[in-house]
């Protein structure tokens, strides 16, 4: 069986990193693909999985378990990726920071460029992409579909009270994005990152009142996105309070598909 994926890079991407885009196009030509717009690929090659879930809903934990069990995945956390580009002052990072500093949302096309710049080498190697954190709206989903095709959507449904309790206990290492929780994943030394020994911090938006506002906003914005993918027959929702209970269901579902078995 042959599945069809859209693998189009926008013109803006060509202007920003032409060598990488041309390398991608050349590779596709070498595989006897006549166009980058409707690329036929064997089932064992790249597929695209999106993981959705509220802040603190366990997307990171579930993603790590998936990476362990499905070695073909390359994980792209758009939040971590954006912070990395801003910290390293790349061309895309500088442009994104300009929007962030002015209080504006980073435009969809810029977020897609960030994702595709990171993902292209892995896609060329035949790896599958696990997207975490983007898209968050139907508009973003439609913009992403102009570049690539989503095969499967895993949606995590975790109660609000569980998330508030979980996030209020969360501390992070700002430079790397590593997350610790004193209730289930404590640092080896209190207040210090396990790898660098640098100080951990707690974000202001990890306070209970801020968390509830974020969850309300997420529900209002993302609920239509979940339905959008459900209507396409792509999304499956997994409910629970513990990642260790939810993940076996996710794994069984992915193994039942012809994409990730």
| Numbered residues of the known binding site for GTP | 56-61, 170, 179-180, 243
Q: How far is CA 98 from the centre of its chain?
A: 22
Active site residue 15: no
Binding site feature residues for AMP: 78, 83, 104-106, 133-136, 140, 203, 214
Check 203, 213, 232, 242 and give the catalytic one.
203
Check 16, 41, 65, 170 and give the catalytic one.
170
Question: CA 144, CA 8: separation in Å to the nearest integer?
Answer: 10
Check 97, 136, 178, 236 and give the catalytic one.
136
Q: CA-based Rg of the chain, rounded to a whole angstrom?
A: 19
Active site residue 136: yes
Binding site feature residues: 56-61, 78, 83, 104-106, 133-136, 140, 170, 179-180, 203, 214, 243
Active site residue 232: no
Written as six digits, the tokens of 20 are 């990488």
Check 16, 41, 59, 65 and give the catalytic one.
59
Q: Are 59 and 247 in contact (CB under 8 A)?
A: no
Active site residue 170: yes
Question: CA 184, CA 166: separation in Å to the nearest integer?
Answer: 9
Active site residues: 59, 136, 170, 203, 214
């Amino acid at each position: 069986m042959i599945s069809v994926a859209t693998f189009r890079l926008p013109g803006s991407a060509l202007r920003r990193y032409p060598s990488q885009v041309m390398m991608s196009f050349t590779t596709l030509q070498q595989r006897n693909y006549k166009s980058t717009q409707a690329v036929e690929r064997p089932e064992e090659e790249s597929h695209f999985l999106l993981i959705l879930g509220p802040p603190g809903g366990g997307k990171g934990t579930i993603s790590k378990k998936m990476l362990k069990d499905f070695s073909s995945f390359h994980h792209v956390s758009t939040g971590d990726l954006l912070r990395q580009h801003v910290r390293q002052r790349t061309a895309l990072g500088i442009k994104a920071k300009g929007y962030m500093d002015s209080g504006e949302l980073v435009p969809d096309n810029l977020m897609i460029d960030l994702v595709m710049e990171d993902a292209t080498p892995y896609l060329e190697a035949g790896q599958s992409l696990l997207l975490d954190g983007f898209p968050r709206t139907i508009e973003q989903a439609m913009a992403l579909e102009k570049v690539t095709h989503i095969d499967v959507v895993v949606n995590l449904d975790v109660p609000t009270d569980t998330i508030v309790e979980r996030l209020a206990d969360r501390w992070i290492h700002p430079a790397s994005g590593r997350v610790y929780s004193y209730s289930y994943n404590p640092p080896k030394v209190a207040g210090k990152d396990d790898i660098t020994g640098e100080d951990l911090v707690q974000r202001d938006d990890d306070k209970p009142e801020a968390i509830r506002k974020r969850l309300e906003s997420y529900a209002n914005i993302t609920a239509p996105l979940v339905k959008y993918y459900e209507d396409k027959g792509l999304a499956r929702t997994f409910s629970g309070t513990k990642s260790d209970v939810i993940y076996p269901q996710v794994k069984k579902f992915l193994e039942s598909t012809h994409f990730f078995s």
